[in-house]
Amino acid sequence: MGQCHTCGNIYDKSFEVILKDVTFTFDSFECAIQALAPACGHCQCRVIGHGVEARETVFCCAHCAHASGISDVQDRSQHDMERTGNTEYLLAK
Ligand SMILES: [Zn+2]
Ligand SMILES: [Zn+2]
């Protein structure tokens, strides 16, 4: 039984997400996305996939990165994070 960090609902099927040693409780993935997923630097939609990271900004897709004047975008796949050790994009917002 936990209370959702985003909407305040108390729900018997709540779950926890740990991000950088901080534990958040949610009643739905939608609420978790609202609270924790980065927002696209161009269209502001929530980035719930790998997204694209460039110049310290996360974009939902290469189109949005291009629309913000960034042409040399790079995928932020799990492989890239493991290779570079960079998971900072998770805390962009
Ligand atoms: Zn909620
Ligand atoms: Zn976008």
Report whether 54 contacts 60 (CB < 8 A).
Answer: no
Tell me the pLDDT tens digit for each residue of 6-60. Answer: 999 999 999 999 999 999 999 999 999 999 999 999 999 999 998 998 888 999 9
Instruction: Compute the distance between CA of residue 36 and CA of residue 18 in angstroms, rounded to an integer.
Output: 10
> Could you tell me the distance, in angstroms and rounded to a whole number, from the CA of residue 78 to the centre of ligand 2?
20
> Could you tell me the distance, in angstroms and rounded to a whole number, from the CA of residue 63 to the centre of ligand 2?
7
> Could you tell me the distance, in angstroms and rounded to a whole number, from the CA of residue 14 to the centre of ligand 1?
9
- So what's the pLDDT on residue 11? 96
> Could you tell me the distance, in angstroms and rounded to a whole number, from the CA of residue 78 to the centre of ligand 1?
27
- So what's the pLDDT on residue 40? 96
> Could you tell me the distance, in angstroms and rounded to a whole number, from the CA of residue 49 to the centre of ligand 2?
12
Instruction: Tell me the pLDDT band of 69, cut-offs 50, 70 and 90.
Output: very high
Q: Is the pLDDT of residue 78 over 80?
A: no
Instruction: Compute the distance between CA of residue 87 and CA of residue 27 in angstroms, rounded to an integer.
Output: 25
**Phi/psi of residue 70, nearest 5 degrees:** -105, 120
**Predicted structure pTM score:** 0.69
The residue written with tokens 């729900």 in the block is 11
